[in-house]
């Protein structure tokens, strides 16, 4: 199999090269904010329609709404376009690892479930079980390690789904954002 072409355009990273962890993290933050903005009207409607809802119930339902919107946004947009708004703005896209072509819907769903499941365990379940913060930190490091240590920057969820994140054609200009540890 031929290696991907990593042509460089002025002011841009090489197209087809693995996306940096910094770009991936910034794109993820943009996507979380976007999904939050999309889900806010639904949460507002809930607050107006059911004003006597307890604070705990409202918080739980709001989180379910937010998660549902994020799942739909991420899976549908990525399946149809190969990139979410955050990935588009940062000039990166998800592709099938072996062919660098558009990933299948099952690859996108697998990737999302692997990422979501991993984050849920590390960010929600471990702290809820009162596991020491150091253990949570180690778990996050284990999840991030493949994306940092592998030359192709494929994270655990990419490895499980057979995908990779690359710099896209028409990538946004500018330097690579740096991830801070």
pLDDT in tens, 80-95: 888 999 999 999 999 9
- Count of domains for the chain: 1
Dist. CA 18–CA 127, nearest whole Å = 32
Taking the C-alpha atoms of residue 112 and residue 116, their distance in angstroms, rounded to an integer, is 6
Q: Could you give the percent of the chain with pLDDT greater than 70?
A: 81
Look at 93-102, 127-136, 156-165 and tell me which has the smallest mean pLDDT.
127-136
| Mean pLDDT, residues 167-181 taken together | 52
Who wins on pLDDT, 145 or 9? 145
- What is the percentage of the chain residues whose pLDDT exceeds 90? 28
pTM of the model: 0.74
Amino acid 150: pLDDT: 86
What range defines the domain where residue 113 resides? 21-167
Taking the alpha carbons at both ends of the chain, their separation in whole angstroms is: 35
Q: How many CB atoms lie within 10 A of CB 24?
A: 22
Residue 181 CA: distances (Å) to CA of 57, 111, 137, 148: 35, 24, 11, 11
Q: Distance between CA 78 and CA 97 in Å, rounded?
A: 15
């Amino acid at each position: 199999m031929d290696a991907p072409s990593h042509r460089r355009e002025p002011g841009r990273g090489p197209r087809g090269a693995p996306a940096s962890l910094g770009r991936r993290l910034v794109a993820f933050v943009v996507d979380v904010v976007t999904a939050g903005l999309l889900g806010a009207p639904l949460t507002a409607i809930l607050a107006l329609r059911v004003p006597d809802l307890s604070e705990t119930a409202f918080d739980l339902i709001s989180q379910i709404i937010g998660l549902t919107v994020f799942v739909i946004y991420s899976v549908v947009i990525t399946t149809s376009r190969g990139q979410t708004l955050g990935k588009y703005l940062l000039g990166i896209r998800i592709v099938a690892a072996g062919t660098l072509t558009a990933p299948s819907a099952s690859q996108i769903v697998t990737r999302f479930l692997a990422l979501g499941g991993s984050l849920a365990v590390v960010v929600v379940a471990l702290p809820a079980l009162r596991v020491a913060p150091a253990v949570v930190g180690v778990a996050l490091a284990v999840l991030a390690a493949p994306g940092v240590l592998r030359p192709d920057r494929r994270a655990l969820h990419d490895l499980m789904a057979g995908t990779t994140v690359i710099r896209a054609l028409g990538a946004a200009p500018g330097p690579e954002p740096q991830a801070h540890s």
